[in-house]
Amino acid sequence: MVLESAIAEEIITNNLKQFLLVLSVSLSMATLPQIFSWFRHIPYTLLLVIVGLGLAFADVRLVTLSPELILFIFLPPLLFEAAWNLKWSELKRDLVPICLYAVFGVVIAIAGVAIVLNQLAGIPLTTALLIAASLAATDPVSVTALFRELGVNSRLVTLMEGESLFNDGMAVVAFGFLVALSLGTVELEFQPILVKLFSVVGIGVGVGGFIGFSISYFTQRFDLPLVEQSLTLVSAYSTYLITEDLGGSGVIGVVTTGLILGNFGSRIGMSPRTRIIISEFWEFLAFFVNSIVFLLIGDQISFASLGENLQIIMVTVAAMIVMRAIAIYILSKLSISITKSEISLPEQTILWWGGLRGSVSIALALSVLTTMPEREKIIATVFGVVLFTLLVQGLTIKPLLEKLNLLGDAPLREQYLELVARHVALERVLQHLQADQRPGIDPDRRYQETLIKGELADLRTKIDKLQDEYPNLQIFITEQLRGELLAIEADTYAEFVKSGRLNKELASMLEDVLPNHQKEA
């Protein structure tokens, strides 16, 4: 017993040391762009992959990635954070194209890539299907982070993130079905496939909805930021585990919970201060997890294995890019004909080229049974394709955005916000100075007032000049004002609900408020 305890302590100590080493390397990379300006051209997550590749080349293995580590530890918080920040109003507007990409796009990708691998590379159909299913899930974390930094329009971000959130679930379901098919435990018939799909998705939506709405109403009864923050963390992991145990899609479950808490629960059951605290917590957690995942992806690469399977990797990359193009352009055209909502050709091109693969693909490949004779080939191929999408597509997305004139006005907005923040701050300083009636400070007060009023005049001149030179800035200013007014209105309703002066039908009330504001816009 004593020996077992000592061994357990040694294992825990070694794991902790490895974890701290990974974390130290990851966080060190975060400081590089601040020290060397050249690194600012590379998205942080891609920089981590490059560093991980350097470690792999030097044969320094930090931690061994496993499907359990990715799917049960890393995936839930990443899914929850993305869903928490995804606005339902924007998601609802583009639900048709997102569902088309996430469902039929996955089918096209799996079927197309599998056929190409089977016919051109001579890979057995079972193995080809597993490779294709592993690569069906997109993971555009680096791309969407870059979009926000560059101020790319929010609709493009919603389309890409929405597709990623839902096609993760579809890819995991498809992969599980194909594994069961290869083991002979299911039959390849239309009705069983359809029943399985609806049950897996239905259980995910049901469990996620139950947990999301339960926590939403529960948090109305108190205002304890740390408790509510902890509840969101527990909900992310518990939803995933419970849904998986019940035979549903944990991915769909977590996405559903995150959407409900982010768009409904945070409004009716959380104060503005609590919402800010929780949003900042999840921003930190997503940064923390991504820092580890992308470093380890690079660190797990086996260059010898990549070399042995280079031809298959090249065929898979070509097939995946072609199938992605077919899916995006055809399904976008179908979406436009259904919804009459235009998705421009440049936007479709970015959706095509920005469909990177990442942690979910690697987790699925690693989860292939060790008894399968082609397991190493599957893993090597998936790692090679993921590496290509991250480095080649990830590093060329910014030049492509520039070429297609899709870069936003983020620097201009940032400049405007800085000027406004400075103006508001000085206004408050001036009000405080004028209200201060302490004896003996009149001469100095008049001097300070003169200085502050001079600075305020300069700031007003700069703001006016900015608005005159860039008329489109007025749209941003108007949107920001309407958003602030809507938030104040929603918070007021939430206060009435908490005090018992209003019934709990707040969701419908907010749904009425939002369209009115959008009509005014």
State which amino acid sits at residue 243: T
The average pLDDT across 269-279 equals 84
Give the pair of three-digit tokens for residue 247: 């035979």
For tokens 């809507």, the residue is 486
- Read off the DSSP letter of residue 38: G
pLDDT given at position 270? 84
Whether 96 shows a pLDDT value over 90: the answer reads yes
Q: Which tens digit of pLDDT belongs to each residue from 505-515?
A: 544 555 455 44
> Is the Cβ–Cβ distance between 239 and 211 less than 8 Å?
yes
Distance CA 332, CA 326 (A): 10
Q: Pick the closest to residue 401 from 84, 59, 172, 153 (CA basis).
A: 153
Rounded percentage of the chain residues whose pLDDT exceeds 90: 28
Can you give 108-143 as a three-state secondary structure string? Answer: HHHHHHHHHHHHHCCCCHHHHHHHHHHCCCCCCHHH
Distance CA 278, CA 240 (A): 20
Distance CA 433, CA 447 (A): 11
CA distances to 34, 441, 452, 457, 476 from 435, rounded to whole Å, are: 41, 12, 15, 21, 34
Number of residues that this document lists for the chain:
521
How many secondary structure helices (H) and strands (E) does the chain include? 25, 0
Of 515 and 461, the structure prediction assigns the larger pLDDT to 461
For tokens 């329009």, the residue is 153
> Is the Cβ–Cβ distance between 107 and 173 less than 8 Å?
no
Distance CA 159, CA 336 (A): 14
Q: Which tens digit of pLDDT belongs to each residue from 356-391?
A: 998 889 888 888 887 788 888 999 999 999 999 988
Residue 172 — very low, low, confident or very high, per pLDDT cuts 50/70/90? Answer: confident
Give the pair of three-digit tokens for residue 430: 């001036």
Residue 517 — very low, low, confident or very high, per pLDDT cuts 50/70/90? Answer: very low
Distance CA 266, CA 133 (A): 35
Residue 441 — very low, low, confident or very high, per pLDDT cuts 50/70/90? Answer: low
Q: Which tens digit of pLDDT belongs to each residue from 124-139?
A: 998 999 999 999 988 8
Q: Which tens digit of pLDDT belongs to each residue from 209-237?
A: 999 999 998 888 877 888 899 999 999 99
Give the global pTM: 0.75
Distance CA 44, CA 26 (A): 10
Of 31 and 314, the structure prediction assigns the larger pLDDT to 314
Of 105 and 468, the structure prediction assigns the larger pLDDT to 105
Q: DSSP string spanning 331-396?
A: HHHHHHHHH-----HHHHHHHHHT----HHHHHHHHTS-TT-TTHHHHHHHHHHHHHHIIIIIHHH
Q: DSSP string spanning 243-307?
A: HHHTTS-HHHHHHHHHHHIIIIIHHHS--HHHHHHHHHHHHHHHHHHHHHHHHHHHHT--HHHHH
Q: Pick the closest to residue 356 from 49, 3, 26, 86 (CA basis).
A: 49
Scored b (16 or more CB within 10 A) or e, 132-143 reads bbbbbbbbbbbb
Whether 440 shows a pLDDT value over 90: the answer reads no
